[in-house]
Structure 1
Amino acid sequence: MADADHTDVRLFRMPEVSLAGSVPLAPLLRARFEPDLGMELDGARFVLTFHQIATQIDVLDGVPVLINLYPWRSHVTVRIEVAGRLVLQHPFAVRDAIAGPLQRELARQDPAVTHWGYEIVALGDVPRPAARSRRRNRIEELPDPPLPVAALADFGVDDPPGLAATAVTVVLAAPVAAALDALGGPVELGGLLFGQVYADAAGPDRQIVHVGELAAVRGGAATATSFTFPAGAFLGIDHADRGRRLVGWYHTHVADEGDLRLSPADVVLHTGSFRRPWQVALLAGPVRDGRAVRAYSLTGGRLTRVPVHTAAGKPA
């Protein structure tokens, strides 16, 4: 566990891995989370818990390219307290919570440098010496294999003519739809979604996300108005386990809001941990005329609502 006020990010020029200096971490975290939370965080306390997840490479593409030189520190739970009140606690990929704002700051300060390495050094850490390598290794992230092709009709879902095309369409297995409809209680509930992703035969750059399983997550900070994943919620997940993929997450809302919509905290949670364009957020809860399920996915960097159906053609 580390306090951001006593944590620095060391910077290295690449590919020679030469130490170039360091920047404090707290201002980067404020820049990352202030817009999403809609509040100033000048007096906030940031507590970080890094998770030991085996990652061979952790690279943030863009300008400049950022390479995490401590790839085993690729995920972190960020806890934010303001005046003693907890406002956010959630696990994030380091590339989103820290490398993202760092990339923007480095692009502003030194636009001529195209590749940086970085490592996060907390109080009590023993920083490793800046290694120098005579070889220039090219670092690449392997692309995903091609998606299998499917059509909505394969799941018994009609594609109504004239309906505006979206990049993602969600299809729920019947047991999943029934389970979401049955969820309820005095606090918000949530968990992970597993299933498959298909290239939509109806058009290029469109995907069908078939949700075949809900995996409830317990032990997080749940109230009547919020749900957060506990630290370590994503540890041990094998995305290829039993032929399934982690296709997103779900949670409930308790109060009748008239129309279901994601809260600012929900947006922070999704954009920090579910970066694939086909990873979706499902929201289930009461509306004026009963209960409903809404689905959202990242499109152009923003979370937008996308169609959701139940297999065999019944809209959710």
Structure 2
Amino acid sequence: MSSIAWTDDRETVGIDLYRTDDYVLQGRVDLFPLLRSVFGEALGRPLDDALFALSFHQVADLRESSGDPVMVNLRPSHSYLTIRILVGDRLIYRHPHSVREVFARPLQRLLGTAFPDDKHWGYAPAGPGLEKISLERPAPRMEGTIDVRLRRGRTSRLNLEEVAEPEPPPARLADLGVPEPGENGLRAEDDVAVVFGPEAGKALRHELPLSEEIEEGGFLVGNVHRDADHPERYLVEVVHALPAERTGASMLQFTFTGESFLRANDAVHRLGGDLQLVGWYHTHLFPATERLGLSSSDVELHSRTFRRRWQIAGLLNLDGGERVLRAYGWDGRKMRRLPQWVVDG
């Protein structure tokens, strides 16, 4: 076993490899050269003419492979499989194995040689039919953090006070590129309305690369205004959509880490001007309906993390090549669908 057999054919059954604990897709390894090498050595015979049949079992195993580099199974719900090897009509081998044993350990040796500086990899069996097994991306572990615990009854010398923010400047929808509200016209009770600018709208609805297997997400950056005609209403102008870094994800859930926010703040600072974090967005991997909006975990994340009245949650439903964008806001008791417009370039 001296090299990694990469393949560009996405229909090939293989192992998708993801570099670092940000799990950036590196490529797909052709599975059968790997199996022929592993089991040819174990059985003491060449397996060039062998047929491999794999049956994955829904048994979870969340352990990391020991050794260097770290190997993390990104389809952890199916961590065991039975392997059958046939030569012609003769079954020469049948036995259950862990995915760690069959895939992770040989890849660990190869990756340690080919990429000695990379100490963390994710791997996922991939190919036709395997997409039915949920892909999960663990949230990265933050380094350099400590817990500070005060003794009971001891007074803290650290006091935090909220600093009053300046009042948002006034604007009208026409100033933000919406000359006529149209069918999304505002009602008296709408105290937040959203305008997606040309760059953000194009990115969210067309250009951002988004997975069809796990939820993706990021941050919405822009400006906040008071409606010049109705000062009790906020007009949120979304200028940029920034994919989040250092996140966790699965088919059903998306998770930010503290480092996600630190990197987002750095990105906002680099963009310059008076831009600020106006909310977040994430995807759902099914068609949009009126009854299916944000999940309970989405609502919990928003209500605990995005506390300002004008901060919004953008939801992108993915259905094949179609994307449906909707905006929601927290009114102090529940999430409500917000009136929105997408401004063309």
Select which of 143, 158, 177 maps to 1:156. Answer: 177
Answering whether residue 248 of structure 2 is matched by residue 248 of structure 1, we say: no
Which structure has the higher relative contact order (CA within 8 Å, separation 6+)? 1
Deviation at 1:281, TM superposition (A): 0.2
Q: Distance in 2 between matches of 1:288 and 1:200?
A: 37
Q: Distance in 1 between matches of 2:149 and 2:161?
A: 29
After TM superposition, the structure 1 stretch with the greater mean CA deviation from structure 2, 266-275 or 165-174, is 165-174
The one-letter code sitting in structure 2 at the alignment partner of 1:191 is G
Partner deviation per Cα, 1:270-301 (whole Å, 9 max, x = no partner): 01110000000000114699432110111133
Deviation at 1:159, TM superposition (A): 2.6
Counterpart contact for 2:139–2:246, Cα < 8 Å: no
Distance 1:309 1:267, change over 3 A: same
Distance 1:205 1:289, change over 3 A: farther
Distance 1:202 1:289, change over 3 A: farther
Q: Distance in 1 between matches of 2:161 and 2:216?
A: 38
Question: Secondary structure of 1:235's match?
Answer: helix
The one-letter code sitting in structure 1 at the alignment partner of 2:197 is A
How many residues get paired? 194
CA root-mean-square deviation: 3.7
Residue segments in structure 2 that go unaligned for 5+ positions in a row = 1-135, 141-145
The one-letter code sitting in structure 2 at the alignment partner of 1:228 is T
Distance 1:306 1:212, change over 3 A: same
Partner deviation per Cα, 1:168-196 (whole Å, 9 max, x = no partner): 11111112111111243221110111111
Deviation at 1:239, TM superposition (A): 9.6
Distance 1:257 1:239, change over 3 A: closer
The one-letter code sitting in structure 2 at the alignment partner of 1:208 is L
* Identity across matched positions, percent: 35
Q: Distance in 2 between matches of 1:185 and 1:261?
A: 19
Distance 1:160 1:274, change over 3 A: same
Q: Distance in 1 between matches of 2:268 and 2:320?
A: 39
Counterpart contact for 2:150–2:156, Cα < 8 Å: no
Q: Distance in 1 between matches of 2:293 and 2:163?
A: 35
Answering whether residue 200 of structure 2 is matched by residue 176 of structure 1, we say: yes
Counterpart contact for 2:198–2:342, Cα < 8 Å: yes
Q: Distance in 1 between matches of 2:277 and 2:221?
A: 5
Residue segments in structure 1 that go unaligned for 5+ positions in a row = 1-85, 91-120
The one-letter code sitting in structure 2 at the alignment partner of 1:196 is N
Counterpart contact for 1:239–1:245, Cα < 8 Å: no
Counterpart contact for 1:258–1:287, Cα < 8 Å: no
Q: Indicate the residue corresponding to 1:297 in structure 2.
A: 329
Question: Secondary structure of 2:285's match?
Answer: coil
Q: Distance in 2 between matches of 1:167 and 1:261?
A: 20
Q: Indicate the residue corresponding to 2:309 in structure 1.
A: 277
Question: Secondary structure of 2:262's match?
Answer: coil
Q: Distance in 1 between matches of 2:278 and 2:203?
A: 17
Greater Cα radius of gyration, structure 1 or 2: 2
Question: Secondary structure of 2:261's match?
Answer: coil
The one-letter code sitting in structure 2 at the alignment partner of 1:164 is R
The one-letter code sitting in structure 1 at the alignment partner of 2:316 is A
Partner deviation per Cα, 1:72-95 (whole Å, 9 max, x = no partner): xxxxxxxxxxxxxx9x989xxxxx
Q: Distance in 2 between matches of 1:150 and 1:192?
A: 23
Distance 1:286 1:238, change over 3 A: closer
Counterpart contact for 2:169–2:226, Cα < 8 Å: yes
Answering whether residue 164 of structure 2 is matched by residue 143 of structure 1, we say: yes
Answering whether residue 228 of structure 2 is matched by residue 216 of structure 1, we say: no
Answering whether residue 216 of structure 2 is matched by residue 185 of structure 1, we say: no
Deviation at 1:310, TM superposition (A): 1.4
Q: Distance in 2 between matches of 1:191 and 1:252?
A: 10
Under a length normalisation based on structure 1, what TM-score does the superposition of the two structures give?
A: 0.53
Deviation at 1:240, TM superposition (A): 7.4
Counterpart contact for 1:167–1:299, Cα < 8 Å: no
Answering whether residue 338 of structure 2 is matched by residue 306 of structure 1, we say: yes
Question: Secondary structure of 1:270's match?
Answer: helix
Partner deviation per Cα, 1:19-38 (whole Å, 9 max, x = no partner): xxxxxxxxxxxxxxxxxxxx
Question: Secondary structure of 1:301's match?
Answer: coil
Under a length normalisation based on structure 2, what TM-score does the superposition of the two structures give?
A: 0.49
